[in-house]
Chain A
């Protein structure tokens, strides 16, 4: 959340899963600043705060949906967790173990516990490697397993994702997008990870195959108990697949809470606009509902607005919004929201935004 670092004490972590048990993953004040370099001497001329103080928890076996538009920093957040990109601040704890100081072998070992599924199944699989090598890569990398043993394991994994032994010697080009994404999922499952970061796993797929992959991920969660960070821009799919949803805007989480609550009764004006903007496949609903059309474009992360980053586009903006960054406050439904409406002005105090706007977004279900 925005500027959460100054205020939140460790004893009161934001966005804790409801059950209160120790989380699988605990992220605090995660930050990534990219320097912009220019000129012959590669002098740093500016900074992009791509991820700016993000905190959240993921419980064992939980699916946390992370939604946001391009430039919100959601994909960067996913990569920071696996340290595919080095964070510039904050902490990442997996089962109480801080990942930020790990190097070499220790880091490699941790990568067994966290795996990633990438957005584009056309570029995330080596085009010249057969399926057996792609899915078996983790076994080779970590255990240097002989080919025969490796292939047996790969077949089991392929069967888990709905493919079979006959696909072992085929190349990625022989598969459709949905099948490729299943191969990518099989690879991510190989080391029996505790958490899978799925970065827009269905947005490159055709609509009739999207549900195949979403169902597959839900199945695996149910059967294997693996937790998921489901990163996407499509709220309806995230809502369907997730237990909780975190909404990101310009590098910070603006609202987090139970999936149904956020989807049906958003507390942050941006969540409301985002949900309202997505068209629903029902012409009757489309004609009757009031659509919130946001003004303007998202501002550049190079030069983010002062105070609340959303204030220039916010329909409810007050004077305070351009001056002070809002702190996360609890919502009545048990989530958190970073918006002045809940503390100043009309003081919603954690009630859904609909009480102010009269906009209904979606009924649960």
Chain B
């Protein structure tokens, strides 16, 4: 299967370009390819949302980029970050790039912060590991970061331990930790899923402000299409380990090109008037061991034909720069709302 070259819309070229990335795990002599030839690109200073349900492979593909998968993972394909190949890097090289040029924030801030060190300790450590410099400089930088992420009395709070912070404040500390070395790419894996909506909107707003101030690109992994609409520039939809569609968000939310995208958008309560039944996608995501070789969505797709269950479906680049993996995309006209 050939994957099209996903040409960037901007002149400078993408900051991160992932091509045919595959990840498989082997257990009990069975191999499950949980990520299958995934391709996407992130432009400098822009936000790409990767959307998918659990089991879609969205988290695994993002963690594969920074070497945060267990050693049993078999990663193939290519991921070029600012000209550097990330796939096949040594652990040492990965560690150098992680937390420096590429940072990661996770869903659960408490498990990502070390409970036995003070917040200041962790922040200065992260800074000095990569930048060197004196303790005092690092401390100043840590204080500046806490102020930047909106934590009141930053100097005082540097001496506190993670448990002394509330959920929303912890996520702010995580963001400060991730951004202390001014990364060029931030991978945010469901950073607001564990938070209440009012706190979520604070964090989303903060991320957008920081992105403008620092000019970093964000790879935003989420299951929430509302979050995508509010913070992303482009969106890549994953289903059962594959990218099924990539597009700019305006085009995507107005006219999805893949039946799965359409199904997702339509199943949201916003897409139907109150009182009507919600639209739904029947069935569930197949297990990685049972992914069909042809279209993986065919079993749940209302448009499925014989052609959909025959051969593997290529990811096709369209004239308008969009990418879609569906044999019928030319004939189908889809709407986000019903």
A201-254 residues with Cβ-Cβ distance < 8 A to B are: 206-212, 214-215, 218, 233, 235-237, 239-240
Nearest to B278 among chain A residues (CB) is A211
Nearest to B55 among chain A residues (CB) is A206
From the candidates B168, B199, B267, name the one contacting A211 in the complex (CB within 8 A). B267
From the candidates A211, A218, A274, A297, name the one contacting B197 in the complex (CB within 8 A). A274
Stretch at the interface among B91-99, B179-187, B225-233, B305-313: B225-233
CB-CB under 8 A from B202, the residues of chain A are 293-294
Nearest to B206 among chain A residues (CB) is A293
Decide yes or no whether A256 CB sits under 8 A from chain B. Answer: no
- The reply to whether B197 and A280 form a contact with Cβ atoms under 8 Å apart is no
A153-210 residues with Cβ-Cβ distance < 8 A to B are: 176, 178-179, 206-210
CB-CB under 8 A from A70, the residues of chain B are 196
CB-CB under 8 A from A212, the residues of chain B are 280, 282
Decide yes or no whether B327 CB sits under 8 A from chain A. Answer: no
- The reply to whether B230 and A207 form a contact with Cβ atoms under 8 Å apart is no
Decide yes or no whether B279 CB sits under 8 A from chain A. Answer: yes
CB-CB under 8 A from B249, the residues of chain A are 283
- The reply to whether B166 and A282 form a contact with Cβ atoms under 8 Å apart is no
- The reply to whether A69 and B198 form a contact with Cβ atoms under 8 Å apart is yes
From the candidates A207, A236, A297, A298, name the one contacting B53 in the complex (CB within 8 A). A207
A interface secondary structure, majority: helix
Cα distance A208–B268 in the bound complex, in angstroms: 8
Decide yes or no whether B112 CB sits under 8 A from chain A. Answer: no
Stretch at the interface among B65-73, B120-128, B269-277, B318-326: B269-277
- The reply to whether B225 and A233 form a contact with Cβ atoms under 8 Å apart is no
Nearest to A259 among chain B residues (CB) is B274
Cα distance A280–B270 in the bound complex, in angstroms: 8
Decide yes or no whether A83 CB sits under 8 A from chain B. Answer: no
CB distance from B302 to the nearest CB of A (A): 13
A311-346 residues with Cβ-Cβ distance < 8 A to B are: none
A80-101 residues with Cβ-Cβ distance < 8 A to B are: none
**A206-B53, A209-B284 known; A283 vs B169 contact (CB < 8 Å):** no
CB-CB under 8 A from B278, the residues of chain A are 211, 214-215, 240
Decide yes or no whether B162 CB sits under 8 A from chain A. Answer: no
- The reply to whether A233 and B269 form a contact with Cβ atoms under 8 Å apart is no
CB distance from B290 to the nearest CB of A (A): 13
Chain A's interface size range is 35 or more
A266-293 residues with Cβ-Cβ distance < 8 A to B are: 273-274, 276-286, 291-293
Q: Mark B183-204, 1 if CB is under 8 A from A, else 0.
A: 0000000000000111111101
**A209-B284, A211-B280, A297-B166 known; A236 vs B230 contact (CB < 8 Å):** no
- The reply to whether B196 and A215 form a contact with Cβ atoms under 8 Å apart is no
**A206-B223, A291-B205, A297-B199 known; A283 vs B264 contact (CB < 8 Å):** no
B interface secondary structure, majority: helix
A333-365 residues with Cβ-Cβ distance < 8 A to B are: 364-365
Cα distance A233–B264 in the bound complex, in angstroms: 20
CB-CB under 8 A from A69, the residues of chain B are 196-198
From the candidates A210, A279, A294, name the one contacting B226 in the complex (CB within 8 A). A279
- The reply to whether A208 and B267 form a contact with Cβ atoms under 8 Å apart is yes
Nearest to B252 among chain A residues (CB) is A283
- The reply to whether B277 and A236 form a contact with Cβ atoms under 8 Å apart is no
Residue among B54, B263, B267, B271 having the largest count of chain A Cβ atoms under 10 Å: B267
CB-CB under 8 A from A293, the residues of chain B are 201-202, 205
- The reply to whether A237 and B269 form a contact with Cβ atoms under 8 Å apart is yes
Decide yes or no whether B250 CB sits under 8 A from chain A. Answer: yes
B203-243 residues with Cβ-Cβ distance < 8 A to A are: 204-205, 223-230
- The reply to whether A281 and B280 form a contact with Cβ atoms under 8 Å apart is no
CB distance from B50 to the nearest CB of A (A): 14
Decide yes or no whether A120 CB sits under 8 A from chain B. Answer: no
CB-CB under 8 A from A178, the residues of chain B are 284
- The reply to whether B274 and A215 form a contact with Cβ atoms under 8 Å apart is no
CB distance from A209 to the nearest CB of B (A): 7
**A233-B196, A281-B228, A298-B196 known; A215 vs B277 contact (CB < 8 Å):** yes
25 contacts between A and B (CB under 8 A): A69-B196, A206-B53, A207-B223, A209-B280, A209-B284, A211-B269, A211-B278, A211-B279, A215-B278, A233-B197, A236-B269, A240-B274, A259-B274, A274-B197, A278-B226, A281-B226, A281-B268, A281-B270, A283-B250, A284-B250, A286-B230, A293-B201, A297-B166, A297-B199, A365-B274
Given contacts A207-B267, A278-B197, A293-B201, 8 further A-B contacts (CB under 8 A): A208-B267, A210-B267, A236-B270, A237-B269, A280-B229, A286-B229, A293-B202, A294-B201
Please list the 6 inter-chain residue pairs (A to B) with the smallest Cβ-Cβ separation, ordered nearest first: A279-B226, A211-B278, A69-B196, A240-B269, A277-B201, A206-B53
